[in-house]
Amino acid sequence: MTPFQFQRAADAADALQAAGAFGAKYLGGGTNLVDLMREGIERPAALVDVTGLSDKIEERADGGLMIGAATRNTALAENRAVRERYPVLARAILAGASGQIRNMATVGGNILQRTRCTYFYDEAARCNKRRPGTGCDAREGFNRIHAILGASPACVATHPSDMCVALAALGALVRLEGPEGVRTLPIVDLHRLPGERPDLETELRPGELITGVELPALASARRSTYRKVRDRASYAFALVSVAAVLDLEADGTVRDVRLALGGVAHKPWRATRAESALRGARAGSEAFRMAADAELAEAQPLSGNAFKVELARRAIVATLSDLTGDRA
């Protein structure tokens, strides 16, 4: 075990001061970071425990919600306002992990978990995420679970969070505090695609800390759901997942739609092409298939995951059909 210093922060200001002094990593529930430390992949010289940050879920003046970064995933999924007004988020969290992990994991920590695959954990494998410039064995190796959208020659890993897929569909904002002050960033812009530097996974600046997540006031989110397709019912990341919000006119025309995909890219994937194809169309399986085709037209499957293209297409159609009551 690599020795490290440990400090518990009382609030955001305390955390920023401690991290600046020690060059530390922030520690939430530890469900990802501790695992990486145990495997020897992460070797921080110091940890700052930030579970003392706000864990409140508060009503905003505009009708949205402010979620403290230290809110446990279980508490978020069980919150009445979340269940009633943002069911897609509650369902995504419940699909994400076991009860024990949800009881420990925090909202901020879930957002910042590492994008990774089995090769990332294998010291004998080439992995640009672990050691930039060494190559990516996943591209020609066992790549069944890997990306079909937004990947690069340097990395084809997929982001594992279910919660973040729902947040992407909802248009959530992430509140950040750092040495340069406070700012907010759309969650769809927080995570990076791999490009040539897959080791750089987010747009966080040095020392920045997630202190909260803002959910917009979104009446249409009451008609929303989450579907996760995976190899087994527990302890499995998504092969493909779909977060969907659907707003219909009285005649069945799509007034607005929000779609995000998981299991297909290095970050939660907002399906903007599918959304554009659906707005103004009459809701139904044919329109849903055309929208899915528009989103997946640029998919670049690998040798072992071409099935994900059709799986994603069917998952999009099925999820939207659930929201319209059309099971055809």
Q: Is the pLDDT of residue 327 over 60?
A: no
Strands (E), the chain: 5-8, 25-27, 46-49, 57-59, 65-68, 173-178, 181-186, 209-215, 224-229, 240-248, 254-262, 269-270
- The per-residue pLDDT for 254 is 97
Residue 328 — very low, low, confident or very high, per pLDDT cuts 50/70/90? very low
Q: How far is CA 138 from CA 118, 178, 236, 307, in A?
A: 9, 35, 18, 17
DSSP string, 115-166: PB-HHHH-TTS-BTTTSTTS-BGGGTS--TTS-SSS-BTTB--B---SHHHH
264: tokens are 């297909």
Cα separation, 190 vs 308, in Å, equals 25
Q: Is the pLDDT of residue 117 over 70?
A: yes
Segment 160-204, tens digit of pLDDT? 999 999 999 999 999 999 999 999 999 999 999 999 999 999 999
Q: What percent of the chain has pLDDT over 90?
A: 81
Pairing of strands 240-248, 254-262: antiparallel
- The per-residue pLDDT for 1 is 62
| Torsion on CA atoms 142, 148, 150, 153, rounded to nearest 10 | 40
| Domain 1-50 matches domain 221-324 at the CATH topology level | no
- The per-residue pLDDT for 38 is 86
Segment 20-61, tens digit of pLDDT? 766 688 889 888 888 888 888 888 888 899 999 999 999 999
Determine whether 235 is exposed, middle or buried from the number of CB atoms within 10 Å of its CB (0-12, 13-18, 19+): exposed
Segment 93-111, tens digit of pLDDT? 999 988 888 999 999 999 9
Q: How far is CA 60 from CA 63, 64, 165, 298, in A?
A: 5, 5, 22, 39
Cα separation, 251 vs 237, in Å, equals 38
Neighbours of 61 (CB within 10 A): 6
Segment 223-282, tens digit of pLDDT? 999 999 999 887 789 999 999 999 999 999 999 999 999 999 999 999 999 999 999 999
* Run of H or E including 170: helix 163-170
SS3 of 258, please? strand
Kindly report the average pLDDT of the chain as a whole number: 94
pTM: 0.95
Edge-first strand listing for the sheet containing 181-186? 57-59, 65-68, 209-215, 173-178, 181-186
Residue 324 — very low, low, confident or very high, per pLDDT cuts 50/70/90? very high
Q: What are phi and psi of 101, to 5 degrees?
A: -70, -40
Average pLDDT over residues 151-164: 97
SS3 of 39, please? coil
CA atoms lying within 13 Å on the CB side of residue 41: 23
239: tokens are 């092969």
CATH code of 221-324, in short, is 3.30.390.50
Q: Could you tell me which of 149, 139, 167, 100 has the C-alpha nearest to residue 263?
A: 149
Q: Tell me the CATH architecture of domain 1-50.
A: 2-Layer Sandwich (3.30)
Listed by start position, the domains of the chain span 1-50, 221-324
